[in-house]
A = this chain, B = another copy of it.
């Protein structure tokens, strides 16, 4: 089978899995249902992904990779660290609170083995935090920022930006934020961050 077709098919299957995940949850999404939704056979699903966890692990990994890549792109082009953070903040927030990321976090919460959660952490926070950290380190070196360490400041940044929005979204205590609110929240977080890290 041609490689392109196969990867296209995989994407279709994963799209179908996202749709079901988003309105039935992890427990309520069966492999059979995914197969039907994607008009594929469950045998194919099992052959390609091993089992249910394998399917969602793949989705988690590729989603996290996409997030990291988008962030890297945004960071790479900027020059001034603080201006870059201003730009990165709303982007990061919208990705962390987007329907897909939240659904995958719910799935990880429902997975007793912890593999999904480990994958999210490894490809998500553990990849993103160093990027922010490096950015902040630049700010520390040029003196526009002041903090005990780049690491601590990076954690402040993320805490002020995200707060408990993520967990609240995950437990369905909060609806998705419209674009305008995302920007407003990011701006507020940056104001607080600047104050906290003022020289």
Contacts and interface: CB of A to CB of B under 8 A. Distances in A.
Interface of A: 23-28, 105-106, 108-112, 114, 116-118, 120-121, 125, 152, 155-156, 158-160, 162-164, 166-168, 170-174, 188, 192, 195-196
Closest 4 CB pairs of A and B: A117-B171, A121-B173, A109-B109, A114-B172
Given A173-B120, A192-B196, A168 B105 contact: no
Contacts of A195: 196
Contact of A108 (B158, B163, B172): B172
A50 to B, nearest CB: 19
A193 to B, nearest CB: 9
Given A109-B171, A170-B170, 15 more contacts: A23-B112, A25-B110, A27-B110, A105-B167, A108-B170, A108-B173, A118-B172, A120-B171, A121-B171, A155-B163, A156-B192, A158-B164, A159-B162, A164-B166, A192-B196
A158 B167 CA distance: 13
B112 A109 contact: no
Most B-side CB within 10 Å, residue of A156, A158, A188: A156
6 contacts: A25-B112, A116-B171, A117-B171, A158-B163, A159-B162, A167-B170
A161 B177 CA distance: 23
Contacts of A110: 25-27, 106, 109-110
